[in-house]
Structure 1
């Protein structure tokens, strides 16, 4: 049967995608396994191929694809008027007669639709209530042509699907004149809860629900089919089959708003659960109810489904506030196999592991088919070694002073080895040498764990000692300002940026250019324009010293570094050049120290000297924590350059479309390439297929969060009239206009006095705090980078606001209360 151009639906199954298309293969699978699906037949993709040949459409299709245009009108018109060869016409009309010759639904079934990661919903056409042979043949022609609608061509291009490889089959089924119809999801598409079934229903044919013409009845059912939630719809329109063929749109209204009977809902839930089990993943199902029976009209995998909801304990939520700040976007396979396990996150896992605590920074990301699908903060647990940790910590604290950590021979060896590897010319390396560089870059970081293990104990004890002292003296609020006096490499970078901004302010030509031009244009002028020569030299010195720092995340290799994104740095310079510098946090630190030393109990010079030493020791610990991260990211650019050079060579060999496609591959997959050129074509196609599949899956999940932010930052009971609320991060209250900054490329959007609203921050964001009136961050907690810097600049800050970047809009006037963690609406005249 499968060798024919036309065959019964029951002759096909899930493995017949190439012949039946996605919809036809799934429907045949359902019929074969006893699901209530209307009977029908399928016109296979072979028929489509035959028509393309007989109508001479191959050249037109090739021309369309070659020109990269989206206009398929001429191809659709050619299909609409194409003559169907006699044998194929006879097969179609015979199958139609055997089906009863009555009303049918004619549905397109392309080979690139109804697949995991690419539903192609609504991209091809469906014709309902088709009556008669001539109408059927006309509908089939139009289904073939709908493969070339502008929307379908554009959708395939966005999904990376080769239009030249796509074929289309046509499903013909007995028409169900539904009393009620709609769509069922076998998992909650909003929350990701796999134990719930969500149903939308309305009177008449389901097309009204699918096309969005009505507000449907909305049901949320539990696993047993019991109603948890019901929202009545409005049934603005009712679509019904017309007597002579086609459909009619009739006025609806509340008069027909009768809920589905409980037994129908239970049957739908049962069928949906069975289909999900059969296909092995949640399903998006179209259904119809008529004459007391439920029928399934279509089933496809649910796309863009959030991860299942999780319940987190307090410690997991605390860890989650850190991890979501470190993972601002979905990691790539190359992240998961390089910098993420071996860089700062893996390093800190080793540090806490040294005191016997396991499962802190490991295994918090879940992958499916090479794509990260969810983040679940781990639940750390102590081991027997934890009981001996106080003794090990005390021993290390005695032997290793953070104030002298840069004198450690291990640090000097790290810098020297990093310098040597960074100096190698990757472009001239033979393949076998190049493919070893990523592992060498990662190996550079391994000794860093030992340095942190040795020097962090005194850091922690020094901070704890100072905290106890200031609280005992009744000066607890001074603690944060006291440790601001630590001189760090991040502070050095910010001062260097301010020096560049001062150069811009003092040079008329630079001042004019930075005031008028966007950062990408400034980057081009800095690199090429002779008038930028002096500034270019200073700028290049900045990048040489600080360009290894991350722009987005310290634990991912896929985002560019500052050195690779000069426009990001120039955006910061543009921002800072707009006005004189703000007072430094060091001034507040000095004032805090004077206030502490003036305490009546610190009467003698010896007591004041001791307290001063304790403050300096705490500051040295803060500097070590910050500066060790600064230096230990130095191998990151080397790792990135090696991976992109590997990607460039794979592109030149025809394996990848762009060098950046290498991020879709795992390190072990790259290391499995013995030599290049010379890669066997089957191996090359395996790599290309992995990139295509993972890229499509990432595209599907582009709008899906790795975890529901409210699982980490649950809404409080007293949020009241707050637009958003979170954890207090910096005291005080300020009002201003919202400016949502989602990534470093948008730094230049911020103006003086704006309320900075962002998903995360890291040290490269620090200069923005000099211009903001307040800060609101989706992620992070009181000890996060954003909270620390906000307190340094005396800004009200709200951390863990979860949905601030989606709820708050640019230009909206808000008031930020850093003491309560609430953001409320402000009058347009607020300040």
Structure 2
């Protein structure tokens, strides 16, 4: 049974998380009450004697498993040699009052703290009482909450062990908890201290409203202090146990000096671990400060690494794209290469394309854009909020607030760099020539856009005999050169929407009242895909789709065993759209052509439910086109009041708007086509590496970067052609990939990703929640119309089922979501603006939609009746 002074962080499997931390703190010279750990070997012996392996194998659900395991452990005698060692170690501590705490091997980890999941016993006196507390600590590994928490975090029950910590009891005059980073705002270097008289149990258990102090750990300044009611205190009782004492004297239980001392101690602990900590502390009657526990704060989103000085502002690429999950390492690398090509168009390409542009950062497996330079420039303050209002309205509100922060004052006053960059971009995408082509007529413009798909297919072709190294070289060249090609569509889109604004000015009709002009736009690849899928459902044999589960449908499709027409028609659909998928910007995720289960599930949903009491989506689309023509006529009529020429120009402008507006989705469609082609080539590289024993599975290649994959190939230069940053040649990479997969899965369970984050950890939106009057949620108007119906909250479209008329409530959308729109009665999104993907597609289908609704998926529950007013931008909760 090692003493704390003999324990280090490498002994997690032997002593559990809590003891490992206490040993680390002791060895670092921090004030920890002395103690020792009863190792996991003792628990293993008892668990083996109790037959826990059979209980775990038997399952029985979380509650049944927990109850059976606890009973077995409590009924099994403690082995004599274990009991003797515990008694001897207790007497060596002095035989006085001790705290007995659980210390599990899956506890106080960087990704899951397990705070409060296992039991603690305070002021335990006497050897028999210590043995009883040890037994109960073992059993607490199997409480209902601990079992549920492990299952939620993907931790194997059979692999978890528990040690027990026994340490000298601090008879605290005041105690509590401290976070070395503010858990509400995310701000680092801002300690939040909760304190209450007596033992810390009152605070930890939530039995009191404690006094709260906020301290700037950099300066020691107390930023805030708030007195809690502290209606009771938990005190140690002579002879063992605790009691609750009511009528605690009023007044703050800590002085400012003590709060500063605590914050300073917390900063030392944080520096030792290199990450924010959740600390339990106590101050004894002599005024001495003690640390009784420390664990990492797992709820904070990790900060992007930066070498730039000063406060930085980061905007989430993932949130903007509706991809809340993390990206695979090769997916991140692919976006960096593509973004390097984009930056080069503006004259700011990085020296090493694989590094990505300087304004791109990474944390939590997600990508971030550093907006600081734009926010601190006069030109950026004009452009950035306007761009965000179109695509991410809630982020625009945050940026508006940040402009008032004195730390982000304007330091770049000249507009010349922006003008030069814009001129370079316009020249390199041939903007003037393509705008003239767009004005001349849609036929030539659309022919050019159709030709882009064929050009990309040619660029993606790799000789059948290409070596893995040649495939990697080709993939990096294609990705680095893709953006100039796909963005060449944008001059047509810019022309369309520029003429839309011109028509509004000429007619005097506000843009918000002209949204019907944008309904049912032609040439939108996403709506064409959705309507084709709906039409496909009407052409195929319905029986297997109505009767069989999705996994069986997928198996039959792969085996070519679906009814002939269904097999042929689905293959044709996937031939045109199989490069798409959910979270499709991630190169590392399968496409529909690889895993058609999502598409087959959508078809089954269409065939089982249809559209109740209303026209089919294709009829609605045609009706929307007719409504758009009527809207065009109404706007033109308004313009004619100013003269016939004004009316003619307005008609011309709106015709071009409708001709080109749908192309807004085309650049992403072409980019995803490129990613799908590169993915096929990388799978071939993965097969080679798996055959060589470097990887366990070909798909594991997506958990490497391009440079790492190249380094794993014999005789390859990791930094070839400047695309990668090099690295040591790899041997067996299976352990590396397994660790990255585990990290990816942990991050994928994260429910909240900040939209905007500052480099000090602050999440500005957490400081100002945007809500309307009680019972109403406010967002941004996205698609006009009002609908009342039951809500269906969907966090992942794969396997989602939406009854006709239900209102889809979701975090955000990409094209993988849009087949659900065909049966939705309305749409509510947490992210987005008037020109975001979901808003555009909702308008085209005539679905009332509100976007940018803060915490919609948490504040609205499935089945609740809600009213969506797409013109006012409100969502009203009617009943649960």
Q: Normalization by structure 2: what TM-score?
A: 0.75
Equivalences for residues 750-829 of structure 1 within 5 A: 750-752=803-805, 754-826=806-878
Residue 554 (structure 2) pairs with residue 502 (structure 1): no
Offset at residue 74 of structure 1 (A) = 8.6
Which has the higher mean CA deviation after the structures are superposed, 269-278 or 402-411? 402-411
1:742 corresponding residue in structure 2: 795
Q: 1:467 matched to which residue of 2?
A: 501
Match of 1:22 among 17, 22, 29: 17
Give distance in 1, aligned partners of 2:481 and 2:876.
Answer: 48
Deviation at 1:68, TM superposition (A): 8.4
3-state secondary structure, aligned to 1:116? coil
Say whether residues 1:414 and 2:448 are aligned partners.
Answer: no
Relative to structure 1, the CA distance from residue 104 to residue 500 in structure 2 (aligned partners, 3 Å threshold; closer, same or farther) is same
Q: CA deviation at 1:186?
A: 1.4
Aligned-partner Cα distance in 1 for 2:42–2:793:
54
Q: Distance in 1 between matches of 2:581 and 2:193?
A: 45
Quick check: 1:725 aligned with 2:778? yes
SS at match of 2:188: coil
1:386 aligns with 2:383: no
Match of 1:40 among 35, 46, 62: 35
Q: Is 1:573–2:573 an aligned residue pair?
A: no
Q: Structure 2 vs 1, CA of residues 646 and 103 (structure 1 numbering), >3 Å: closer, same or farther?
A: farther
- Find the partner of 1:298 among 288, 293, 297: 293
2:529 matches 1:493? yes
Report what 2:580 is aligned to.
549
Alpha-carbon distance change, 249 to 416 in structure 1, aligned in 2, over 3 angstroms: same
Cα drift, residue 82 of structure 1? 0.6
- The Cα shift of 1:646 comes to 6.5
- What is the CA-CA distance between 1:284 and the residue it aligns to? 0.9
- Structure 1 residue 326, shift from structure 2 partner: 0.5
Alpha-carbon separation, structure 2, partners of 1:697 and 1:498: 36
1:313 paired residue number: none
Mean alpha-carbon deviation: is it higher for 381-390 or for 485-494?
Answer: 381-390
Q: Distance in 2 between matches of 1:142 and 1:35?
A: 29
- The Cα offsets for residues 593-616 of structure 1, whole Å up to 9 and x where unpaired, read as 444555674999999887665545
Q: Please say if 1:586 is aligned against 2:613.
A: no
Shift of 1:691: 2.7
Of residues 92, 95, 109, the one that matches 1:101 is 95
Q: 1:820 to 1:31 in 2, by over 3 A?
A: same
Gaps of at least 5 residues in structure 2 are 306-311, 375-379, 381-416, 716-727, 758-762
User: C-alpha separation between the residues in 1 aligned to 2:865 and 2:699?
Assistant: 40
Aligned to 1:702: 750
Change (3 A) 1:102 1:649: farther
Q: Which residue of 1 aligns with 2:404?
A: none
CA RMSD of superposed structures (Å): 4.8
Moved more, 118-127 or 647-656: 647-656
**Judging changes above 3 Å, is the alpha-carbon distance between structure 1 residues 599 and 284 closer, same or farther for their aligned structure 2 residues?**
closer
Give the match's secondary structure for 1:780: coil
> How far did 1:104 drift?
1.3
Cα offset, 1:702, TM superposition: 1.5
Gaps of 5+ in 1: 311-315
Partner SS, residue 591 of structure 1 = helix
Residues 255-334 of structure 1 mapped to structure 2, 5 A cutoff: 255=248, 259-263=252-256, 264-291=258-285, 292-306=287-301, 320=315, 324-334=319-329
Normalized against structure 1, the TM-score is what? 0.79
- Over 3 Å counting, the alpha-carbon distance change for 1:686 and 1:634 in structure 2 is same
Sort the Cα spacing of 1:146 and 1:714 in 2 relative to 1 into closer, same or farther, 3 A: closer
How many Å separate the matches in 2 of 1:713 and 1:34?
36
Q: CA deviation at 1:441?
A: 4.5
Q: What's 2:711 paired with?
A: 672
Rounded to whole Å, the distance in 2 between the matches of 1:719 and 1:341 is 39
| SS in structure 1 of the partner of residue 853 of structure 2 | coil
Q: Deviation digits for residues 335-384 of structure 1, max 9, x if unmatched? A: 543442245x666555555999xx9x95676445x744977656546457
User: Which of 190, 215, 219 matches 1:222?
Assistant: 215
Three-state SS of the structure 2 residue aligned to 1:586 is helix
Counterparts of 2:877 and 2:853, CA distance in 1? 15
Whether the 8 Å CA contact 1:400–1:455 is kept in 2: the answer is: no
> 1:457 corresponds to which residue?
491
Are the equivalent residues in 1 in contact too, given 2:792–2:802 (CA < 8 A)? Answer: yes
Q: SS at the partner of 1:683?
A: coil
Query: SS of the counterpart of 1:121?
Result: coil
Provide the residue aligned with 1:397 in structure 2. Answer: 434
Deviation at 1:451, TM superposition (A): 3.0
1:288-309 Cα shifts (integer Å, max 9, x gaps): 2331443211112111213579
User: Could you give the per-residue CA deviations for residues 467-515 of structure 1, whole angstroms, max 9, x where no partner exists?
Assistant: 31442133555754445543333333233123124337xx7x54xx766
Structure-2 change in CA distance of 1:135 and 1:726 (3 Å):
same
**CA distance, structure 1, for counterparts of residue 470 and residue 53 of structure 2:** 42
Check whether the contact 2:14–2:41 (CA below 8 A) recurs between aligned residues.
Answer: no
Pairwise CA distance, 1:801: 1.3
Query: Are 2:576 and 1:540 aligned?
Result: no
**Length, aligned pairs only:** 784
Q: CA deviation at 1:800?
A: 1.3
Which residue pairs with 2:395 in the alignment?
Answer: none
Equivalent position SS for 2:324: coil
Quickly say closer, same or farther: Cα 1:518–1:51, change in 2 above 3 A: closer
Secondary structure of the residue aligned to 2:751 is coil
Shift in alpha-carbon separation, 1:544–1:185, aligned structure 2, 3 A? same
Distance 1:663 1:169 in 2: 38
- Contact 1:307–1:373 under 8 Å retained in 2: no
The 5-angstrom pairing of residues 31-180 of structure 1 reads 31-43=26-38, 45=39, 48-49=40-41, 57=48, 72=69, 76=73, 80-84=77-81, 89=84, 95-137=89-131, 139-140=133-134, 159=153, 169-180=163-174
Alpha-carbon separation, structure 2, partners of 1:24 and 1:787? 52
Equivalent of 2:736 in 681, 687, 711: 687
SS of 1:816's partner is: strand
Q: Deviations over 1:657-710 (max 9, x none)?
A: 87766654444334333379xx999834641563366247526x6133244698
Aligned residue for 1:196, secondary structure, equals strand
Decide whether aligned partners of structure 1 residues 322 and 60 sit closer, same or farther in structure 2, where only a CA change above 3 A counts. Answer: closer
Question: What's the CA shift string for 1:571-623, capped at 9, x where partnerless?
Answer: 56346555532422322233234445556749999998876655454444334
Do the aligned residues in 2 keep the contact of 1:129 with 1:242 (CA within 8 Å)? yes
Shift of the 577–826 alpha-carbon distance from structure 1 to 2, 3 Å rule, reads: closer
1:185 Cα deviation from its structure 2 partner: 1.3
